[in-house]
Chain A
Amino acid sequence: MTILLDVRDLAVDIPTEDGTVHAVQHVSFAVNEGEFFGVVGESGSGKSVMVQSIMGLVPGARTSGSVLFRDRDLLSLAPEQLRSVRGREISMIFQDPLSSLHPQYTVGWQIVEQIQAHEKVSTKAAKARAIDLLDRVRIPDAAARFDAYPHQFSGGMRQRVMIAMGLSLGPALIIADEPTTALDSTVQAQILDLLGEMRSEFGTTVLMISHDLGVLSRVADRVMVMYGGRRMELGAADAVLCGPAHPYTAGLLRSSSFNREPGTPLVPIGGRPPSLLAPPEGCAFRDRCPDAMSICGTKPPVRHYDDGTEVACWLESTPVEPDPPVLPPPSLLASPDDPIVKVDGLRLTFPQRRGEPRVVLDDISLEVRRGETLGLVGESGCGKTTLARAIAGLVAPTAGTVEFDGAPTGNLDRAQWRDLRRRVQLVFQDPFGSLNPRRRVGSIIGDPFRIHRLASGAERQAKVQELMELVGLNPEHYNRFPSQFSGGQRQRIGIARALALNPELVILDEPVSALDVSIQAQVLNLLDELQRRLGLTYLFISHDLAVVRHVCDRIAVMEGGRIVELGTADEVWNDPQQPFTRRLLAAAAPEIPREPRDRRLLPLSVAGAGQQPVSGHPADRHAADRIAVEVAS
Chain B
Amino acid sequence: MSLMPKTPAAAARASTEVQARGSGRLTLTRLLRDPASIASMIAILLIIAFALCAPLIAAWTGHGPTEQFRETGLTPEGIPVGPNSEFLLGTDQLGRDVLVRLAYGAQVSLLVGVLASIVASVIGIAIGTISGFSGGVVDTVLSRTMDLVMSVPFLLCAIALVSVLGPSLSLSIAVIVFFSWTGLARVIRGQVLALRHREFVEAARSLGASRTSIMFRDILPNLVVPIIVYTTLMIPAAIVFEATLSFLGLGIVPPTPSWGNMLADAANGSLYLVAWWMVVVPGGALLALTLAFNLLGDGLRDALDPAAVSKGKRA
Residues in A lying within 8 Å of B, measured CB to CB: 17-19, 59, 270-272, 274-275, 277-278, 280-282, 286-288, 297-298, 392, 394, 417-418, 421-422, 425-426, 428-430, 433-439, 447-448, 451-452, 474, 477, 480-481, 483-486, 489, 494, 497
A404 smallest CB distance to B (angstroms): 14
* A-facing residues in B11-70 (Cβ within 8 Å): 11-16, 18-20, 23, 26, 29-30
Contact of A436 among B18, B19, B29, B222 (CB under 8 A): B222
Whether B4 pairs with A433 at a CB distance below 8 angstroms is no
Most buried by A among B23, B204, B222, B224: B204
Whether A438 pairs with B222 at a CB distance below 8 angstroms is yes
Whether A434 pairs with B13 at a CB distance below 8 angstroms is no
With a CB–CB cut-off of 8 A, which chain B residues contact A433? 198-200
B299 smallest CB distance to A (angstroms): 16
Verify if B203 is at the interface (C-beta below 8 Å from A): yes
Verify if B284 is at the interface (C-beta below 8 Å from A): no
With a CB–CB cut-off of 8 A, which chain A residues contact B7? 271, 287
Sort chain B's interface into a size bin. 35 or more
Whether B208 pairs with A418 at a CB distance below 8 angstroms is yes
Number of A-B contacts (CB under 8 A): 119
Verify if B144 is at the interface (C-beta below 8 Å from A): no
Whether A272 pairs with B199 at a CB distance below 8 angstroms is no
B19 smallest CB distance to A (angstroms): 6
Contact of A275 among B14, B20, B200, B218 (CB under 8 A): B14
Closest 5 CB pairs of A and B: A271-B8, A421-B208, A438-B221, A434-B199, A433-B199
Q: What are 7 A-B contacts with C-beta separation under 8 Å? A: A271-B11, A275-B14, A280-B2, A297-B1, A298-B1, A428-B203, A436-B221
When chains A and B are docked, how far (Å) is the Cα of A429 from the Cα of B6? Answer: 32
With a CB–CB cut-off of 8 A, which chain B residues contact A477? 16
Whether B12 pairs with A271 at a CB distance below 8 angstroms is yes
Whether A394 pairs with B222 at a CB distance below 8 angstroms is no
Whether A437 pairs with B213 at a CB distance below 8 angstroms is no
When chains A and B are docked, how far (Å) is the Cα of A18 from the Cα of B6? Answer: 24
When chains A and B are docked, how far (Å) is the Cα of A29 from the Cα of B206? Answer: 50
Closest to B6 in A: A287
Contact of B11 among A274, A394, A497 (CB under 8 A): A274
With a CB–CB cut-off of 8 A, which chain B residues contact A484? 16, 19-20
With a CB–CB cut-off of 8 A, which chain A residues contact B2? 280-282, 297
A291 smallest CB distance to B (angstroms): 15
Whether A480 pairs with B20 at a CB distance below 8 angstroms is yes
Whether A451 pairs with B199 at a CB distance below 8 angstroms is no
With a CB–CB cut-off of 8 A, which chain A residues contact B18? 18-19, 275, 277-278
Contact of A274 among B15, B26, B198 (CB under 8 A): B15
Whether B8 pairs with A286 at a CB distance below 8 angstroms is no
Contact with A along B190-212 (1 / 0, CB 8 A): 00000000111011111111100
Whether B207 pairs with A421 at a CB distance below 8 angstroms is yes
Known: A275-B15, A484-B19. Contact between A434 and B203, CB under 8 A? yes
With a CB–CB cut-off of 8 A, which chain A residues contact B16? 477, 480, 484-485
Contact of A280 among B4, B202, B224 (CB under 8 A): B4
Whether A422 pairs with B206 at a CB distance below 8 angstroms is no
When chains A and B are docked, how far (Å) is the Cα of A426 from the Cα of B221? Answer: 23
Verify if B152 is at the interface (C-beta below 8 Å from A): no
When chains A and B are docked, how far (Å) is the Cα of A18 from the Cα of B18? Answer: 7
Known: A270-B8, A428-B199. Contact between A437 and B306, CB under 8 A? no
Most buried by B among A59, A428, A437, A447: A447
Verify if B165 is at the interface (C-beta below 8 Å from A): no
Known: A272-B15, A287-B11, A439-B217. Contact between A447 and B206, CB under 8 A? no
* A-facing residues in B129-155 (Cβ within 8 Å): none
Closest to A421 in B: B208
Closest to A18 in B: B18
Closest to A451 in B: B209
When chains A and B are docked, how far (Å) is the Cα of A275 from the Cα of B11? Answer: 9
When chains A and B are docked, how far (Å) is the Cα of A439 from the Cα of B218? Answer: 8
When chains A and B are docked, how far (Å) is the Cα of A271 from the Cα of B5? Answer: 11
Whether B200 pairs with A288 at a CB distance below 8 angstroms is no
Closest to B204 in A: A447
Known: A272-B11, A274-B15, A484-B16. Contact between A428 and B1, CB under 8 A? no
With a CB–CB cut-off of 8 A, which chain B residues contact A19? 18
Whether B205 pairs with A394 at a CB distance below 8 angstroms is yes
A456 smallest CB distance to B (angstroms): 14
With a CB–CB cut-off of 8 A, which chain B residues contact A494? 203
With a CB–CB cut-off of 8 A, which chain B residues contact A430? 199
Whether A451 pairs with B213 at a CB distance below 8 angstroms is yes
Contact with A along B213-228 (1 / 0, CB 8 A): 1000110011010000
Verify if B156 is at the interface (C-beta below 8 Å from A): no
Whether A287 pairs with B198 at a CB distance below 8 angstroms is no
Contact of B207 among A277, A297, A447 (CB under 8 A): A447
With a CB–CB cut-off of 8 A, which chain B residues contact A437? 200, 222
Whether B200 pairs with A451 at a CB distance below 8 angstroms is no
When chains A and B are docked, how far (Å) is the Cα of A428 from the Cα of B5? Answer: 33
Whether B8 pairs with A272 at a CB distance below 8 angstroms is yes
With a CB–CB cut-off of 8 A, which chain B residues contact A280? 2, 4
